[in-house]
Amino acid sequence: MKLILNGLNGSYLRDLLELAPDKTERVDAAVAYATENDLLFSWCWDNSIPLRYWGRFDEQVPVSIPVLEKFFSRRSGRYTCKLVRKFHPKVIWWRGFGAYIGSANLTQSAWWNNVEAGVFLTEDEMQVEGHDLDLETMFSEIDSHAAPLTEELLELLRKRNAELKRRKIAQKSSDNAFVSTTLVPHWEGLARVGKKTANERKRQAFLDEWNSTLQIIRNVGATISKKENRPAWVGDDVPLGVQADQFLHAYYYTNVIDERRRSNFEALFAANRNDPDTAVQLAIRFWQGLPSSSDEYRALNEIAPVLRGAFERDRLKRLTEDEFVKVLSDIHAASEYARRVSNRIVGLRNGVTYTIPEKMDALARHIYRGPARGGNSVIDTLDFILYGGSATEVPHRLWDTMNDPTRRIDLLGISSLGEIVGWALPDLYPPRNGRTSKALRALGYDVTVHVG
């Protein structure tokens, strides 16, 4: 047996063709999609090896017109093509030599670039296990439901293919916009070397991780926001992301932080990583009984509406320094940073002990008065992140802000910005900060904890 994984292990279907000619009596190929003649079909023709091919029939014309026309033009009983509905196998049996059973269609990308996985069994291996009889049964069943390639069928497929080409041209820009999304990483496949710069790769890695973690928070929100799972004082109109944030906040400070303020999220991750769902269900029991005197009650019912209003676009642009101080003081990640930032950096006297509110005030004023690099103030940058384009591309703008010296905000890191996004756009994005990520890891989710 041989594992065929293309560039992952250096074993390709093409390698089998070099070994097969002298041992092959006939090729039976049941492969749903075929766009190329020169992968297998021409090889059979050139080596005078009979071929029986079954391909898929549906509205997308899975077997290309050039392939069908080549079969039809040969008009040979030794090289037959039949089409089948409800058909998706990828099996090539070089009778006398062995069979490939896997995922690869008869396309250039499948034989060279794609991540494909399959196995090749020699004729002897198949006979020992009886797999040759199983394949005989499969091909017999396929053939009983197949239609031979006729002139009428070929003409029908030509017309359909022409219509598909017309549609493709008409919607080309829409298709290109769809596949250009960064929600799925861009990749040229196994047979090509990526041309992205190191920074572009880092950017994509950030977007992949950020989007996947946001979805985890959304999933948690969908679970804990069910009426039977939430405290009685959480209303139906509270955005799911905000509920998830405060659920994670309560869990973190009750279950993850110990009496010496040490965060044990990594130890809990090791304990819960195999079953995060159960860890969430156990945490829900605590969440359900949380009283209205809790910090979470104030966050959901008092702070969240104020922050959402403050970050509305028209309101954001008019924020005064004092208003900005008040708003930033309610951003948990910023308050945590104020706790540890040095006095000197925010303009306070060294050697003096200040309260957290005093340090938060100094931090917020330092940020608000910070240099407008490239003409961008902190308000300009926040407006860019939240409203500088499509709402779906907010994570892109977060990355750009953190890596563009003309936009980066001194002392306001990714945790604070991610949290601001969630309070400003709670219907689209749950708040996310370092504490959120630590709580998720403690529950068993393998997420990245961003610092800052």
Domain ranges of the chain: 2-167, 201-442
Lowest mean pLDDT among 122-136, 218-232, 297-311, 422-436: 122-136
**448: closest CA among 403, 425, 414?**
414
Q: At residue 331, what are phi and psi to the nearest 5 degrees?
A: -90, 110
Distances (CA, A) of 38 to 45, 107, 189: 10, 10, 21
Rounded Cα gap, residues 29 and 67, in angstroms: 14
pLDDT in the model for residue 418: 94
CA 308 – CA 313 distance, rounded (Å): 10
User: Which phi and psi (to 5°) does residue 291 adopt?
Assistant: -80, 165
**Window from 88-102, 267-281, 290-304, 369-383 with minimum mean pLDDT:** 369-383
241 and 221 in contact (C-beta within 8 Å)? yes
pLDDT of the residue at 193: 44
Residue 374 has pLDDT above 80, yes or no: no
Residues 405-445: tens digit of each pLDDT: 888 888 888 999 999 999 999 989 999 999 999 999 999 99
The four Cα atoms 104, 110, 112, 118 give a dihedral, to 10 degrees, of -20
**pLDDT tens-place string over residues 105-151:** 999 889 988 889 999 999 888 887 888 888 998 999 999 999 999 99
3-state helix, strand, coil in the chain (%, to 5): 55, 10, 35
Parallel, antiparallel, or unpaired for β 2-4 and 147-148? unpaired
pLDDT at 233: 93
Q: How confident is the model at residue 198 (pLDDT cuts 50, 70, 90)?
A: low
The values of phi and psi at residue 347, to 5°, are: 85, 20
| pTM of the shown model | 0.63
Give 43-64 pLDDT, tens digit per residue: 999 999 999 999 999 999 999 9
- Can you read off the two tokens belonging to residue 243? 């509920």
Using CA atoms, how far apart are residues 441 and 311, in angstroms rounded to an integer?
Answer: 29
Across the chain, what does the average pLDDT equal?
A: 90
d(CA 416, CA 328): 9
SS3 28: strand
Has residue 400 got a pLDDT over 50? yes
Bridge partners, 119 (sequence order):
3, 101
Res. 195: pLDDT tops 50: no
The pLDDT confidence band at residue 197, using thresholds 50, 70 and 90, is low
Question: Which residues lie below 8 Å from residue 215, measured CB to CB, with a gap of 6+?
Answer: none
Q: Which amino acid is at 347?
A: G
Please check the confidence at residue 373 and state whether its pLDDT lies above 70: no
Q: How far apart are CA 52 and CA 149, in angstroms?
A: 12
Q: Which segment of 122-136, 184-198, 276-290, 426-440 scores lowest on mean pLDDT? A: 184-198
> Which CATH superfamily, name and number, covers 2-167?
Endonuclease Chain A (3.30.870.10)
| Per-residue pLDDT, 194 | 46
Answer for the pair 111, 126: CB distance below 8 angstroms, yes or no: no
pLDDT band at 372 (very low <50, low <70, confident <90, very high): low
